[in-house]
Chain A
């Protein structure tokens, strides 16, 4: 490496201060206030003059009574108790916690975007429609699909939308098959979405390569198969090399092939789901296209489909008219809406800014660097951690503490993750995918520098030298130590008021 300091190691951050932060309710003093309203000149009728007495609540809902200064201090202190990508590397496998460019933040804050009511007639929202149309078109080019809906507000919402499209397509063929095949390494949202779509999940075992084998697939194919959901590269970070055969076999059985776009970050400009034989694709714009994760959301989960399915898409969809302006169009046999309006529009705007900035060359470089970082990291961990499926990785790697050549017996993946927090990095994803015992799923992403990836590798190797007993004590330098999660579930305290009742 260069010898430069690793930009993604956050060990200097004062994520310290071991006192608990009081809640906003603890700061409340009757009569104190922050709110301020504009001067309008509207007559000041009383509540009793405006609302029938029997509908009025006796007391206003108790929220909090705080000064703006105390509110700002409180929430700022909360922010200091929170790890983030802006602070340091966040190698959570399957989550693609890449750097979120600031230019996209500024774009999404433009008053001309934030101030538009979603019912604004198309003629007065041409900027928004052009943006949505452009994004939709670009996503189709990136995935090799024909048309897309931008309504689904998250990946799981995209999955359900895609499965409902699958259902509608079969109904259009006069068929009603009942099951969907999913590899055992899949995200939990896949089977949950399958159930909501009214299908049964049939789990496909991964083979010794960590892949779905055509032979195994064929054993499960029959008239009752509606389709298969695959992530490619899969959640082990491996490319499903037999994908064309798998897709062909499912098609031959009358089923459709669904692409979970969780791992699209590995293949931008390299290959496209459409070329692999997929019919339905959902994308996680909050992963691949750098929409920040916001502590758990909002994201966006557009769904793109082949021409054969495009008439079924949720509507309305943006359309470019002959005169170059933009309007809305309802697909001919639309399954209906999946969102109250047009989807998480500001997340879509961020993704559009990101795609403009990167372009075809930049997006390909994203995948190259993501795959390079992951493989380089794997090369440093091999021989120390267990590598259950030791094949060329894509954008993430799955290693294990079980049977690891360089670890003492009894070291748990959870403990390695907790100790990594003390080393200045966020923990990897642990215990996923389920097919690997004591899994650590690590995704450095393309935005971490070689120095950061090297420092992360060194930290993981250093941890390997420690005893299980010492690792179980971690983390000690974080705002809290390990939390009593069993107690949280046993004595549920979901609100400040419940805490008061619990005494």
Chain B
């Protein structure tokens, strides 16, 4: 029996009596008899809480994590330290158990935290406005493309071959209804060759491409390569497309911002800012835009104002963009978002602080340099692409990458993620600030053994 319904049997009887009913079943008289489920749900009976806790612990124990499988995988999910302060503050039940702030008088906590989050994301992106979150990096990319195509009135998006392939897949699925035409821009040695695709604007025949409403570039891209967005600027100028820049909030500690590089819209997977890897979610879609597109922003936006006594107050604003008011004409269908993960990111970014973010990025880059150099000394191991990398890199191995991942797991490492680029297979390896020299030396020794 449930543990969370407070009613005693006497409560039930009395309340039913007040309604002129005798049995709980009478409450459902409006459900036609033919539709009633005889015999209840086909599920086991409820478990006592300690048994639930034990079962959940058993499931958790059946995953290899932490020192049992030292993580060198990235690909959009990174093994960063989440400090106690982030867990403690984002775990406060006032944030955890509140709803969307529709009553600002009793929701200033969430609203102000989101206002501060928006400010921090705006600064990372180098663009003036950020929304209060979308689901993850993949759906942030989809929202950015929808925004850009609505703004330009076009139907074609050019996507860098360096975009995360799972995000590329989600883009294809989620824009199928709009009939969005996706053109893949190939990578040449790890960076997008925008000009080669632009040359296809002028040809006749099947290789001809349509004028894009959006260009989606990524730096660092899926292979870890720095692929500056400004390399797409000439094509942007020529076509009038909007530039969508995928950035990484950790790399932002060292790299030029998407805004500086000319992006109209910037998106990121916010997981590295305070969310655990957690088998893929909940993560955080960061999304920032230039001032001109603020009225096309999807989802919630918090703005500052005052109350009747002139006190600073925060509210959700420009609400007329949203689905509950604009319905079929809304800029997006998003309602529930990732607020709590955004609150955690706010805390994490404030905890890191200005010098801390730079140091975090630097530590990731140092570990990446150290491991990459050591692995390239292993016989048969080569770079998959040549462009400069920051905190993740792709290698060509003398054995199939999925086999290497399996054998490396026997040695205690999640070695990375198998990737394919231009028909060539490789292993994508990520290094965060958590990885020690000793772990990396052991990884290299294991790799020598595995590929020998």
Contacts and interface: CB of A to CB of B under 8 A. Distances in A.
Interface string B305-316: 111110111110
B112 A81 contact: yes
Contact of A355 (B29, B43, B62): B43
Interface in A66-112: 66, 68, 71-72, 75-76, 78-87, 90, 92, 95, 97-101, 103, 105-107, 109-112
A465 interface: no
B305 A270 contact: no
Nearest to B121: A495
A236 to B, nearest CB: 12
Contacts of B61: 112, 127
Interface string A467-493: 000000001001111111101110111
Contact of B328 (A195, A362, A392, A480): A195
Interface in A125-143: 125-128, 130-131, 138, 141-142
Interface stretch (B232-240, B319-327, B375-383): B319-327
Tell which of A130, A194, A301, A489 has the most Cβ of chain B within 10 Å: A489
Contacts of B47: 356-357, 359
B115 interface: yes
A20 B278 contact: no
Interface in B23-62: 24, 27-32, 34-37, 40-47, 49, 51-53, 55-62
A68 B325 contact: no
Interface in B147-174: 164, 166-167, 169-170, 172-174
B287 to A, nearest CB: 12
Interface string A183-206: 000011101111111111100000
Interface in A450-473: 450
B306 A120 contact: no
Contact of A269 (B41, B173, B228, B440): B41
B99 A97 contact: yes
Interface stretch (A248-256, A303-311, A333-341, A396-404): A333-341
A496 B280 CA distance: 31
Contact of B356 (A19, A35, A113): A35
Binding site of A, secondary structure by majority: helix, strand, loop or mixed? loop
B106 A479 contact: yes
Tell which of A7, A95, A294 has the most Cβ of chain B within 10 Å: A294
A479 to B, nearest CB: 5
A499 to B, nearest CB: 6
Contact of B347 (A71, A292, A489): A71
Interface stretch (B90-98, B201-209, B210-218): B90-98
Contact of B123 (A61, A349, A427, A494): A61
Contacts of A199: 177
A101 B434 CA distance: 33
Contacts of A373: 15
A187 B335 CA distance: 10
Contact of B335 (A155, A200, A485): A155
A368 interface: yes
B253 A7 contact: no
B4 A336 contact: no
B405 to A, nearest CB: 6
Interface in B171-227: 172-174, 176-179, 226
B60 A493 contact: no
A47 B354 contact: no
Interface in B345-373: 346-347, 349-360, 362-363, 365-367, 369-370
Interface residues of A, number: 212
Interface stretch (A49-57, A213-221, A405-413): A49-57
A126 B52 CA distance: 18
A37 B360 contact: yes
Interface in A403-455: 417-418, 421, 426-427, 429, 432, 446-450
A36 interface: yes
Contact of A371 (B27, B56, B363): B27
Contacts of B339: 294-298
Tell which of B40, B66, B101, B319 has the most Cβ of chain A within 10 Å: B40
A106 B50 CA distance: 11
Interface string B267-303: 0010000001111111100000000001000001111
Interface string A283-318: 010100010111111110100000000000010000
A343 B301 CA distance: 24
Contacts of A12: none
A42 B391 CA distance: 14
B447 interface: no
A65 B341 CA distance: 21
B281 A111 contact: no
B41 A360 contact: yes
B336 A154 contact: yes
Contacts of B35: 243-244, 271, 275-276
Contacts of B89: 71-72, 75-76, 79
Contacts of A118: 77, 277-281
B107 A82 contact: yes
A80 B362 contact: no
A450 B257 CA distance: 55
Given A295-B99, A494-B302, A34 B353 contact: yes
A353 interface: yes
Contacts of A487: 305-306
A38 B434 CA distance: 7
Contact of A84 (B94, B120, B327, B436): B94
Contact of B315 (A32, A105, A483): A483
A107 B282 contact: no
A271 B79 CA distance: 44
B425 interface: no
B139 A157 contact: yes
A34 B362 CA distance: 17
A466 B30 CA distance: 35
Given A117-B79, A154-B335, A335 B173 contact: yes
Contacts of A368: 12, 24, 27
A124 to B, nearest CB: 4
Nearest to A74: B350
B162 to A, nearest CB: 15
B116 A483 contact: no
Given A18-B311, A82-B110, A40 B94 contact: no
B436 A42 contact: yes
Nearest to A432: B324
Interface string B73-87: 101110101010101
Contacts of B317: 485, 488-489, 492, 494
Contacts of B103: 83, 417-418, 421, 426-427
A363 interface: yes
Given A115-B66, A128-B279, A61 B124 contact: yes
Tell which of A54, A301, A337, A446 has the most Cβ of chain B within 10 Å: A337
B414 interface: yes
A287 B228 CA distance: 43
B385 interface: no
A272 B77 contact: no
A405 to B, nearest CB: 20
A197 B180 CA distance: 11
Given A82-B108, A488-B305, A188 B330 contact: yes
B174 A338 contact: yes
A482 B435 CA distance: 50
A268 B409 contact: no
Contacts of A38: 81, 433-434, 436
17 contacts: A61-B257, A90-B98, A121-B409, A124-B409, A164-B173, A192-B332, A286-B336, A292-B340, A297-B340, A299-B336, A365-B1, A372-B7, A375-B19, A376-B19, A450-B14, A481-B311, A493-B305
Q: 7 smallest A-B Cβ distances: which pairs?
A: A341-B280, A112-B60, A82-B109, A294-B340, A362-B2, A359-B46, A35-B356
Given A79-B109, A123-B406, A164-B173, 7 more contacts: A50-B369, A75-B92, A112-B60, A114-B276, A164-B176, A198-B179, A376-B15
